[in-house]
Amino acid sequence: MEKKFFYAPTAGRLSDNSMPTHWEHTVPAYKNAPHVWNVGGQDNVAVFLLDTGEGLILIDTGLNAETCYLVIERIWESGHDPRDIKKIFLTHWHGDHSCNARVLHEISGAEIWLSKEDEVEHKKHEGKVGYPKMIDGRRTMTWVEADSEEAKLSGKRADYPYVVTNFYDDDKPITMGRFTIKTKLCPGHTPGVTSFFFEDTDEETGKTYKVALHGGLGVNPMMRPEQLAYDGYPESMAHQFIKDCYELAKMPVDIALSSHLNQANILPNIPKDVNDYTVFVADYAWRDVLINRADAVKEFYPDVYPEAKKD
């Protein structure tokens, strides 16, 4: 069988640098599971809308403030009302997932959920802007005060501040309407990355699908030893990520949601019929992508994982 979904990093996705031409990067709202839509509106970061039947859950909030209108537009386009969002689940504190939490909260009054671990990071980085910078010849993610000269030169500005109202408890699944959502802390990309697991049933066919979303699969440069040192995180975080990926990969998952579209070759597979979520049913995708990412991190630590092949 041909595998349509795999870890496939692609150049040219929407970034702050391509904002002047962002019409080239828009994607429609499309169904990713029976009651799950991607309403991110662009080809970089996904925003998942879960229609629980008793209000909406949003997982992440969009790439940046400039694309917020796309998220709102796509929510309408998917047949939903942004004012019905009851809960906003953040996969992690990074701005490309959390930047529009404030706006969407103001529109809907929704709760904003994050892990306790990433709330520490959120607070630590509030009022700062992050961008990649060459340090010792390596691309390093750096954070500087938003009102500093350096930040001004980078053309970046701080995200609108938001207040976290709820914290995940992995021992307490969250039930709302048709969904019961289990969370799992998956440190690595950040200390508080959260992954989500739930079942979704298609009433028309009677089929139930196991759906999963890993909250943080970006490993380069985040899990390189020098980046972890720069961020003040222990190297054990990278090893924990690898261990968790191998463990989670054993779980049966029918539909793997991808928080960055480029991480699973999603773009070429978005169907013309945006309601046809069945194209995303692929029982190998979850495992393949997790193992690929774990092995990519192993290559950063050849002394610990001599079996890992070099780039």
- Chain residues that interact with Zn ion, rule: CB under 5 A: 94, 96
Q: Residue 116 CB, nearest distance to Zn ion (Å)?
A: 18
Distance CA 15, CA 43 (A): 9
Of 7 and 179, nearer to Zn ion (C-beta) is 7
Helix (H) or strand (E) holding 217: none
Q: In whole angstroms, how close is the CB of 175 to Zn ion at the nearest point?
A: 27
Q: Which of 43/96 has CB closer to Zn ion?
A: 96
310 in Cβ contact with 301 (< 8 Å): no
Residue closer to Zn ion (CB basis): 158 or 274: 158
Q: Give the C-alpha separation, 186 to 78, whole Å.
A: 30
Question: By C-beta, is 230 or 305 nearer to Zn ion?
Answer: 230
**CB of 241 within 8 A of CB of 294?**
yes
Q: Which residues pair with 140 in a beta bridge?
A: 133
Q: 132 or 173, CB closer to Zn ion?
A: 132
CB of 232 to Zn ion, least distance (A): 17
Cα separation values, 306 from 85, 245, 291, 297, 303, Å: 48, 18, 17, 12, 6
For the CB of residue 127, give the shortest distance to Zn ion in the complex, in Å.
18
- The residue whose Cβ lies closest to Zn ion is 94
Tell me the two tokens of residue 209.
């699908």
Strand 111-114 vs strand 166-167: parallel, antiparallel, or unpaired?
Answer: parallel
Contact at 8 Å (CB) between 151 and 157?
Answer: yes
CB of 100 to Zn ion, least distance (A): 13
